[in-house]
Structure 1
């Protein structure tokens, strides 16, 4: 026991870790050394690759379908500003996702990309002595480029090209030709142009070229569809896009008025309104001329008056001209006259009353100085002014001919006694009030034939979950899952290399340590029986009051013998390890 104590107490100093590692590495065979070195190199490569992979930016498209000139200019600017970039297999220019908008703004401030077309900047670098033909060609190219840039500013247009055919001016009026233009549009996927936008492009090109009528402008899209023909077809069919838009504006205006009056009462999502308007776009002119006679004498006014009066002397009947008529007249005698009308015989006529002969009808016939009767004739013509009215009426377009409106009101939400949600119909009195409010808001006119229908029905609940993306399809979640899988894959590869390649090599390099860990639990390892013996000796050497009993020592010796009989190789390795440590 004393010898054991001396041996344990005389331990040599520890080895250098590098020397111990070199000695352990030399224990490996040539094949094991190669496997171990390959495993260590692979592990280092995986760790470095994982670090670089984690630092790799998320690339996004900056621009696509760039021309060679624009691509070279943009790449030069990105290199000057030390902005990382690369090209994809499809030719798109990629930059880190967190710098896409910043780079686009910087490039836009420098006028990039130009889109492979030139504008009026082509005229800025004119050389001295250029011919008139070349100058005209450059002007036409610049005008085409400027028009294409302007058209590309429309939201639905991705790119555009404009071709102008401008004829040479002629001195003969009959031989003068009008210019023509063609516009090729490349629209974004899923985008279209309405009739108003097509008409706007047509008039834009027409107004930019002198003497170019809008009918000579042709507009095409990337599929070859003739867009400029749409407006002409509508015009030929009697459908004007502006009239259709006016109908929609009228309907939307009425719907908005109804919404504004019902929203505070029912809530924005508790009713739906639709209005159909019948608009009269016919334009009529009417001219009417009316006359009204004079009603009272006081209101009469004479325009012209004409009075005609004639008097004729009736000749007395005479005999046949002869001897008697040729005789000289006899002396005059006083004639026997009758009293005037209204007088009695022997009384003179009153002043102012005519003297005449009374005929059989009792009418006094006037007589002349010779006593011959006189016939008179009077004719009076009076023209009165008439009340004349001329009315010229011109009825404007866009009059509302008829309105039809439909309103659906949702049931009210409520809960029952158990707290379960339910819906209830709106009372008839409130529905009547809603009907009256809608009538006033839409301008209901019965004489015009307007109709209104207000119904109360429960709405079907919309499942919003159907519109939401599943968790596994959400782009953010997919990005997180990719990152997690990336690190899990790296960890799995490292674990595989350690278990299959590195750990067996370590067992070969440090066998005593692994064997001791294996048998430490049952007391058969170096820290078990033999460690207990050594420890007991150390304790006995350090403290004289502490003594090892014979029974415990015998039990440990017996266990050591059993372990040596059971696994002699492990015992031999332990003894070799002790001898190597003590020998150094």
Structure 2
């Protein structure tokens, strides 16, 4: 066994020596091509490693003036921070150092183009004039306002100019301050009327006596923006944007109601709804006064009551000598009078005629007027009208052959769906609501799975990086399998004579040498060559020591 192992080692050493000899016998052009291929592979590997180690640059500052840019680059050189300059005043540094570098530059007061604030008032000289002090104060206010406006996400830079007139003792000569604001918006960002209105109120609140209408705002293109804020200011409640948002919320609520009730019947994605809602955002207040006519006396409340009663009596008739006047009979009584017993009518107890008596009663009652005063404030955003459109896919039906197909709904089914949607949306014909339900076949646009969609999005976003790495990989594979591998195989696996194959004739093309020997040999050919080499080694061992070979064969047979 030891001799067999030794002979195997000798055989491998011989094959290595033969390979080295065949390599030296290669033509010069093949050896040069091999060297160039190996050098190209090494260069690609080293270049890829350096490329991957290259830092990812991130913007440190943009739109920097030349003066500030020079100071920033000088500070970066002193801090040993690599940087890149791009057109437009953009300075980029490695991504892992951007925040640390900003803090260090901010401690040095860079960049300075953002303007000065109230720190300008900290270093005033003693004995400064009142005019200079007023100018410094105005500059400080302008700088602070600019910094505050720059804090908005849509604003990249801002400049504020204030025109503050001198105070006058005469009321007619007093003037209001004015202000001008220049906004440099971020690329691709828009500013809406609400934000403009907020900037106008911000500047107005920071300067005493400055009304919002005296503020002019323009962008970097010279477009007047303050007119948008004035239009928004005319709406006292600022409901423009809120109205749109509220209408969308109402419509989405109706859509969700309709689709939620139809999805269990037709399946997800087989029913679609769109709703248009008309809302009334007018502010109305209503006052009404109602009177109840002819209320019963006992049901009405008494406001005031006045009673007056009066009684009058005639004087007793004259006495003395009877005459024509005294013999007249008394007047008839208005009501029966009950006299004491033994007394005649018209005769008093003492024998005289009773005087005449009259009484008068007046009663005045004033009742409260039964009226109702009602003050109603109508709600803002009441729904005036709702229009809904619903489209439903054909239903799936399985025929007698077991095949599924889509068929339209019947009129009865459409009527049921129509009634169902009306109940879901709160259909009110009084306010003019409309509903249209249509049954149609949906296009077969099957949505992609989420994983597949994410993969497509990833490829779309990184198409250039994928193309670069793919091209690099193709070049590397060509160098390895198109140049290096054929030459190496020609050196390691020499052509085998035809008589060494035990199974038949030699494979076509195995005798090719020189420039024709760079053809790729398949796996079957490699196995047959290895088998031939092993067979030649076994034959050589049998020729040198037949007894040992016979002993080895006996051991193999006994093991089986």
**TM superposition score category, shorter chain reference:** 0.5 to 0.7
Look up the match of 2:321: 331
Look up the match of 1:194: 192
Aligned equivalents of 2:130, 2:337: Cα separation in 1: 118
Aligned equivalents of 1:197, 1:414: Cα separation in 2: 52
Aligned equivalents of 1:309, 1:65: Cα separation in 2: 106
* Pair 1:435 & 2:433 matched: no
Q: Give TM-score scaled by structure 2 length.
A: 0.60
Bigger RCO (CA 8 Å, 6+ sep): 1
Aligned equivalents of 1:114, 1:423: Cα separation in 2: 71
* Pair 1:106 & 2:106 matched: no
Aligned equivalents of 2:91, 2:250: Cα separation in 1: 50
Deviations 1:484-533 (A, max 9, x none): 445767999999xx9xxxxxxxxxxxxxxxxx975999xxxxxxxxxxxx
Q: Tell whether the 8 Å contact from 2:182 to 2:220 is kept in structure 1 after alignment.
A: yes
Deviation at 1:66, TM superposition (A): 1.8
Deviation at 1:436, TM superposition (A): 3.7
Secondary structure at the counterpart of residue 148 of structure 1: helix
Q: Tell whether the 8 Å contact from 2:277 to 2:387 is kept in structure 1 after alignment.
A: yes
* Structural RMSD (CA): 5.3
Structure-2 change in CA distance of 1:141 and 1:188 (3 Å): same
Q: Tell whether the 8 Å contact from 1:277 to 1:403 is kept in structure 2 after alignment.
A: yes
Deviation at 1:295, TM superposition (A): 0.5
Aligned equivalents of 1:49, 1:428: Cα separation in 2: 68
Aligned equivalents of 2:47, 2:385: Cα separation in 1: 70
Q: Tell whether the 8 Å contact from 1:293 to 1:387 is kept in structure 2 after alignment.
A: no
Query: Which runs of no fewer than 5 residues in structure 1 stay unpaired?
Result: 1-27, 29-36, 317-328, 357-368, 499-515, 522-542, 544-584
Q: Tell whether the 8 Å contact from 1:217 to 1:228 is kept in structure 2 after alignment.
A: yes
Structure-2 change in CA distance of 1:179 and 1:111 (3 Å): farther
Deviations 1:274-307 (A, max 9, x none): 2322315143342526365440447563713243
* Pair 1:283 & 2:284 matched: yes
Range moving further from structure 2, 85-94 or 72-81? 72-81
Range moving further from structure 2, 455-464 or 214-223? 455-464
Counterpart of 2:463 (choices 477, 482, 497) is: 477
Counterpart of 1:408 (choices 390, 397, 403) is: 390
Counterpart of 1:393 (choices 367, 375, 381) is: 375
Deviations 1:178-197 (A, max 9, x none): 11111112223443222212
Q: How does 1:136-175 map to 2 (within 5 A)?
A: 136-175=134-173
Q: Tell whether the 8 Å contact from 1:306 to 1:382 is kept in structure 2 after alignment.
A: yes
Q: How does 1:219-298 map to 2 (within 5 A)?
A: 219-233=217-231, 242-267=238-263, 269=269, 270-286=271-287, 288=289, 290=291, 292-297=293-298
Deviation at 1:425, TM superposition (A): 4.4
Aligned equivalents of 1:67, 1:160: Cα separation in 2: 14
Aligned equivalents of 1:59, 1:339: Cα separation in 2: 138
Aligned residues: 434
Look up the match of 1:351: 339
Structure-2 change in CA distance of 1:429 and 1:490 (3 Å): closer
Query: Which runs of no fewer than 5 residues in structure 2 stay unpaired?
Result: 1-27, 347-351, 485-511, 518-542, 544-560
Aligned equivalents of 1:449, 1:259: Cα separation in 2: 18
Q: Give TM-score scaled by structure 1 length.
A: 0.58
Deviations 1:293-345 (A, max 9, x none): 4404475637132436586979x9xxxxxxxxxxxx993259556588599xx
Q: Tell whether the 8 Å contact from 1:280 to 1:401 is kept in structure 2 after alignment.
A: no
Aligned equivalents of 1:474, 1:452: Cα separation in 2: 42
Aligned equivalents of 1:455, 1:115: Cα separation in 2: 65
Look up the match of 2:117: 120
Look up the match of 2:50: 55
Deviation at 1:402, TM superposition (A): 0.9
Q: Tell whether the 8 Å contact from 2:65 to 2:89 is kept in structure 1 after alignment.
A: no
Aligned equivalents of 2:213, 2:280: Cα separation in 1: 29
Aligned equivalents of 2:258, 2:320: Cα separation in 1: 121
Aligned equivalents of 2:157, 2:403: Cα separation in 1: 60
